[in-house]
Structures are given as structure tokens and as C-alpha cells.
Chain A
Amino acid sequence: MTGYLLRRLLGAIPLVLGIATIVFFVLNLAPGDPASIYAAPTVSAETLEQMRRNMGLDRPVHERYLRWVGSMVQGDFGTSFSRNQPVRDVVAQLLPNTLILSGTALALAFMMGILVGVLQAVRQNSWVDRGLSVATLFFYSMPSFWLAIMLILVFSLYAGAVWNWPLSFPASGMISVDHAFMGPWERFLDRIRHLVLPAASLALVLAAGIARYMRGSLLEVIRQDYIRTARAKGLPEWKVVVKHGMRNAILPIITLLGLYLPLLFSGTVVVETVFGWPGMGKLMVDSIFQRDYPVVLAGAFLFAVMVVLGNLLADLLYSLADPRIRHG
């Protein structure tokens, strides 16, 4: 097992390095001079040159690349152009926020998706199944940024200002303005209230995909002979489905976990931008617009690492759920 893990991690190194390299060269070969963005337009040519030297942009590309790789291996991602702060600190501030959002969304998505998928499979071809099929496909076809805006429209703006519902959710940010003056319990509630809409807009789209897979997978399993045996033994139907069927039907869903991580990240980019959620996705978009190369590079690198780790995790979970698969 340890050998397998090591081999997988070693195999991931060229992958991650390759991705980082691509991003590096795309960034560095693109037209546009980051130094001129941060300088006032009236600044003299010498000052501009000095800024370039400070940012390390005066060197040839291959030299910059080698330096960047060298320092990255040591865990140093450079200094952010726009924030004048080590990239590591910036990421350390914002990464937890993204993990809170995406973790909640992922958990919600898998719970909802599996539940809906099982319900559909158990009631195959009934009205419930058909209705949910159309509903899941509807959400599956939905761009998450639009869903986010629609949720804001209904549950934040209209619910609060027009319909006067007792409960409306904030449309942006992670905490309220008066967060610092709240008691501990209220602070917690405040955070939850801010989390609801972003997490929902991410989770609903993901859940729709999961439900579709879950339904298909469980239907395939339920047709098998050993399920008939279980029924013939006189087991109650829920036990047949949950204990016998799910054990096998859940396997493809676990692989989805690895497959959905990149999706989740693109989702966070969009949803964080819409909701003004201070996380990695928003940081990436902002940094790209500001030509903040070190941050963009570190972000892309981090995304790649997380995707690789996610895939590894999915493989490990897979072998955990299915004893027939053993990684030696």
C-alpha cells in the first residue's frame, strides 16, 4: 500500500510540473508588461526599468523559469505584485475560505445527488423518476453563475426587499459588516447564512450530475442475480437496496469524486466572483486581470496539486469500498 502511494505521488510530480510549466510560459510569452500596470503613466523610463528589475522581469525567460522552479521546490512562491505580500501568506489567508465553500458544496452535492439518484432508481419509470430526471437534467445543463444570480435574485433581493420573507440570505461576502460585534453563536449563524447561497449554487449543479450517475449505476446493479437472491431470501426491500445494492452501486460515484474536483474548482472561480467570496477562485480572477504572475502561477500550481491529490484519494477510497481491488 505504501509502495503504491509513493509510486502514485512520484508519478504525479512530472504531471504537476508540466502543468505549472505550461502556465508559466503562457503567462510569460503573453503580450503586455506587468510593470507598466503598476507604475503611474507619467513615470520615467528608468523607474520602469528599476521596477522591472525588482519584479525580476528583466531576465530572459528560461532563466526566470529555472529560478521560479528552484524557489518553488523550496516552497517559496515569490511576492505578489499587487499586494506586496509573500504569495504564500496570501494563499494561506484565502485557501481556508475556498475549502469551507467547496467542502460544504461537495458534501451537500453528494448527499443530495445520492439521495435523489437512489430514489429515482428505486421508483424507476414512475412519475417521481421522470420528474426528477427532467429536474436533474435541468440543473445539470445550468451554468452555475446564472444559478447563483437567480438564487440571489429570489432568496436575497426579492425575499428581503419585495416579498418580505422572514428569512433572506446575504448576497455577497463571507461575514456581515457588524460581524465583530456579535456573540460567538451569532457569528457562527452569520457565517452559515453567508455560506448558504454560494454553496447551494455550487452544490445543485454538481448534485444533478451525481444523481444521474447514481441512478444509472444502481439500476445496473439491481438487475443482477445476487439482488434477486437477496429478495428471494425475504429481506426487506430497503435492506436489499441499501446493504446489497448500494455497496456495488456506490463505486462509480466514488470515482466521480476525483472527476468532479476540477469541476468544483472552476465552479468556485465563478461562484466566488459572483458572491464576492474571498477565496482562491476570486483571487485567481483578480490576479489574472492585474497581471500578478506569481499569484496566478501559485494558484494554478495549487489547483493542479489538488486535482492530482483528489484523484489519488478517489482511487484509495475505491479500493476501500471494493475489496476486490487491491493496490499492491
Chain B
Amino acid sequence: MDRGQEGLGEPLGPETFLLPPEGERGDDLAPSTLPEVGTEDGGDVRPSRGVGLSLLLPGLPQLLAGQIWLGGALIILWVGLLATVVGRWERVWGAWRGPLDHQVALLALVMALAGVWALSLQHLRRGEAQVGSRRQWTRFWRSFASNRLALIGAGAVVGVCLGALLAPFLAPYDPATQGNLLTHRLAGPSGEHLLGTDQYARDILSRLLYGARISLAIGLIAVAIAVTIGTVLGALAGYLGGRIDSIIMRLVDMVISFPRLVLLITVMALFRPSIFIIVVILGLTQWPQVARIVRAEVLSLREREFIQAGVALGYSRRRILFRHILPNALAPVTVAATLGIGDTIILEAVLSFLGLGIQPPTASWGIMVADGRSNLLGAWWVTTFPGLAIVLVVLSFNLVGDGLRDALDPRLRR
């Protein structure tokens, strides 16, 4: 969360006239920020005690201070990570000499542990630092954090991302290795296989964890491609106008009115399906929505006073567009991107389900759902759990997207 905000916030800082021009700066919030933070931190004693507690068990001070959600989440995360280290000690220990994804997992594990600590400590320390720092982001964060569903969604997204990264440590079995076909074929959920096994006696939980990598990676990269293309083209169309605008928008109309799945199926069936092609095609068919949003934003922004101020100051057109207009147009893009990740994950699942996406034996949620179809009556778990995983992830991204929209849209702010 934090890093995303920083990335977006960067250009906003130095140009003071870039702050929203409608007089919506946090005059009403600023006074109330001070006393609340003051009481939270109390005198000299509590911060140091908080730091000690925090080092011992991150989240405990927050929990004691009555912030059940934040504290609880931090503690659960911390305990879960530690349990991973202890429970899978051999794998974690051997990871730095192991294959690349084990090394990445080790790195992720260390960073996650450090991150939980840092978050807990930073939250304690924020009292003094908060006043002068980016007020916009504080306002945004407060608005977002007051939406409990969005927070749950964000937590679930973080959890799934960690699960995917730490899959080599967390997965109880190898995702592609067949188990004992005589004894463990299509075994129901049990202590040995928490979510059961499929028709090749492979552990479903392990395959789910590895499948999360595919889904998340494809969702994130495809959306990144779409956002990049869409933002650039949309901004050019909106800012330059004229013939360029009409050409770009015709293109947008064309791509948008094309049933995406039909194009995807066609391309995937004709070329040998590979992750690379899936990602590129998914990205190349999704940018028009972003382009439309950006164009509309740019059109309204370029008439604003602060842009005219930039023109009067003699800034170049490129500088005005990329430094002053685009950063302010990014809020709705963030929302569209978050919601788009969910759509992309579903589309990838559909393709894999039809046999046109990820190819076996690589674990993908779509394939896993398809695998279970032949034994639906006898082994419901083979189909049910991967589908639930898709719903959970997409739902989380949608919750975050909804929360972002509510927090970023000034009209909805209360």
C-alpha cells in the first residue's frame, strides 16, 4: 500500500499549485489531526514502551491501544510468517542454495518480516511526523481506512500475494508431482491433504498456492501494459485533440466493441499458448477503457486555472502534460487498474479452462476447475476450491478498487 502511494505522490509534492484547486485542502481535518495524535502517544513513557513491545511482537501496542483491526492483522501476519520459518525450517534454511523461486521466496519472507516490524514501528512514530507531511495522502488514507470492507480486501490481497511468493515454503507437496494413484487418487479433504487431491493424486492446496502465482502475475503485468498504453494514448488524445484525438478514439471504439474473449480464443488457439502471449494479448485488449478515462480527465484538467498558470509560466507542453496534468488524472486510472486486475484474472481462468491458456502440468486455477469436471459428483473439491480461490482474489481486488474509488472521489467524501 505504502509504496504505491509514494510512487503516485512523487510529482504532487514539489509543485504547490498542483494541489486540488477547488479549495478542498484539508482545512477541516488538520486541526482534528493534532489533538488525536497527541493523546494517542501520551507522554514520554508510552512511545518507548510501545517500541519495546513492538519489537517483541509487532501489532501488540496497536492492539493494546484499541486498534483491533490493524493490530490483529499485524499479529496474524507476524505469527504466520514466524510459523512458516519454524515449521518449514529445512526448506527456508536451504532456500538460498536452492532454485531461483526458493531464493525469491526467502527474500520475500525476510522482507515481509521486516515490513511488519517497520509498519508497526512507523505507526507508533507517526504521531510527531504527521503534521507537516503529505496531507493529501493522510486524507486519502483516512478515507480509505474508514472503509472496513476495503481494508479486508487489501488484507486479503496482501495475504494472497504473500501466499504466492512463499509458495515453495508453504506448499505441503510439490504441485506437479503425482501422488500415490492407488491410495490417494481423488482423496477428499483430510488432515493429510487439507483440500483433497485431484485425479492424479496431486495436492490441491499446493497447486492452489502455485496457481496463485500465475493468476497474480498475469493480472498485474497485463494490467500494467494496459495502463501504460492507455494512459499515454488517452493523454495524447485528450491534450492534443484534433485529428490525433479522432484517430485514437476510433481505434478505441474498435477495440472496445470487439468481444474480447473471441479475439483471445482465436489468437490463443492459433498460436502456441504461452504465458508471454497470454499476458501481451490480455494487455493489448484492455487499454481502451483506460484511454477513455484518461482522455476525459485530461480534457477537463487542461481547462483548469493551475494548468493555465503553467502555460503562463512558459512551461513546455510536454512538461505540462506529463508533470502537471497526468499525475492529477491518475486517481481514476488507479481505480480502473485495480478493478481491471480482477477482470484479467477471470479472463485468464476462462482461457485456461477452455484449454487455451496455461498448459498442464503447470498449475493454473482455470485448468484445475476444468480438471474436476469429469469427476464432479464423486470429487466436488477438485472444482470447488480453485473456483473459490478465483472468487476470493477477484473479490478482494474489487473491494480494494471500490474503496479506492470512494476515497479518491471528492464528491463521495464525507
Residues of A within 8 A of B (CB): 14-15, 18-19, 22-23, 26-27, 30-32, 134, 137-138, 140-143, 145-146, 149-150, 152-153, 157-158, 161-162, 262, 265-266, 269-270, 273, 284-285, 288-289, 296, 299-300, 303-304, 307-308, 311
Give the A-B pair count, Cβ closer than 8 A.
Answer: 127
Q: Does B387 lie within 8 Å of A143, measured CB to CB?
A: yes
Q: Shortest CB–CB separation between residue B356 and chain A, in angstroms?
A: 8
Q: Does B353 lie within 8 Å of A270, measured CB to CB?
A: yes
User: Taking the complex as formed, is B29 at the interface, i.e. its CB lies under 8 A from any CB of chain A?
Assistant: no
Q: Of A141, A296, A308, which is within 8 A of B395 by CB? A: A141
Q: Of A141, A145, A152, which is within 8 A of B376 by CB? A: A152
Q: Does B260 lie within 8 Å of A300, measured CB to CB?
A: no
Q: Does B257 lie within 8 Å of A266, measured CB to CB?
A: no
Q: Of B257, B269, B377, which is within 8 A of A311 by CB? A: B257
Show 14 A/B contacts (Cβ-Cβ < 8 Å), sorted by A.
Answer: A19-B257, A19-B258, A30-B271, A32-B270, A138-B391, A140-B398, A146-B387, A146-B391, A149-B383, A150-B387, A157-B377, A262-B257, A265-B261, A270-B261
Q: A83–B394 Cα gap in the complex (Å)?
A: 40
Which B residue sits closest to A296, measured CB to CB?
A: B266
Q: Of A31, A134, A161, A266, which is within 8 A of B262 by CB? A: A266
Q: Which residues of B contact A270 (CB under 8 A)?
A: 261, 350, 353-354
User: Taking the complex as formed, is B222 at the interface, i.e. its CB lies under 8 A from any CB of chain A?
Assistant: no
Q: A143–B353 Cα gap in the complex (Å)?
A: 10
Q: Does A143 lie within 8 Å of B380, measured CB to CB?
A: no
User: Taking the complex as formed, is B313 at the interface, i.e. its CB lies under 8 A from any CB of chain A?
Assistant: no
Chain B, range 249-276, C-beta contacts under 8 Å to A: 250, 253-254, 257-263, 265-267, 269-271
Residues of B within 8 A of A (CB): 149, 250, 253-254, 257-263, 265-267, 269-271, 342, 346, 349-350, 353-354, 366, 369, 372-373, 376-377, 380, 383-384, 387, 390-391, 394-395, 398-399, 402
Among B354, B366, B390, which residue has the most Cβ atoms of chain A within 10 A? B354
Q: A217–B267 Cα gap in the complex (Å)?
A: 38
Among A145, A299, A307, A311, which residue has the most Cβ atoms of chain B within 10 A? A145
Q: Which residues of B contact A269 (CB under 8 A)?
A: 261-262, 265
Q: A27–B349 Cα gap in the complex (Å)?
A: 23
Q: Which residues of B contact A134 (CB under 8 A)?
A: 149
Q: A143–B352 Cα gap in the complex (Å)?
A: 12
Q: Which residues of B contact A296 (CB under 8 A)?
A: 266
Q: Which residues of A contact B391 (CB under 8 A)?
A: 138, 141-143, 146
Q: Shortest CB–CB separation between residue A12 and chain B, in angstroms?
A: 9
The answer to whether A30 and B395 touch (CB under 8 A), given A146-B369, A284-B265, A285-B265, is no
Q: A269–B265 Cα gap in the complex (Å)?
A: 10
Q: Shortest CB–CB separation between residue B373 and chain A, in angstroms?
A: 6
Q: Which residues of A contact B265 (CB under 8 A)?
A: 269, 284-285, 288
Other A-B contacts than A143-B387, A270-B354, A284-B265, 16 sampled, CB-CB below 8 A, are A137-B398, A142-B390, A143-B353, A143-B366, A143-B394, A146-B369, A149-B383, A153-B376, A161-B377, A162-B377, A262-B258, A262-B260, A265-B259, A270-B261, A304-B259, A308-B257
The 3 closest A-B pairs by CB, nearest first: A30-B270, A266-B261, A146-B387
Q: Which residues of B contact A14 (CB under 8 A)?
A: 250
Q: A284–B270 Cα gap in the complex (Å)?
A: 13
Which A residue sits closest to B411, measured CB to CB?
A: A220
Q: Shortest CB–CB separation between residue B278 and chain A, in angstroms?
A: 15
Q: Which residues of A contact B262 (CB under 8 A)?
A: 265-266, 269, 284, 299-300, 303
Q: Does A300 lie within 8 Å of B257, measured CB to CB?
A: no
Q: Does B395 lie within 8 Å of A307, measured CB to CB?
A: no
Q: Which residues of A contact B250 (CB under 8 A)?
A: 14-15
Q: A324–B399 Cα gap in the complex (Å)?
A: 35
Q: Which residues of A contact B373 (CB under 8 A)?
A: 149
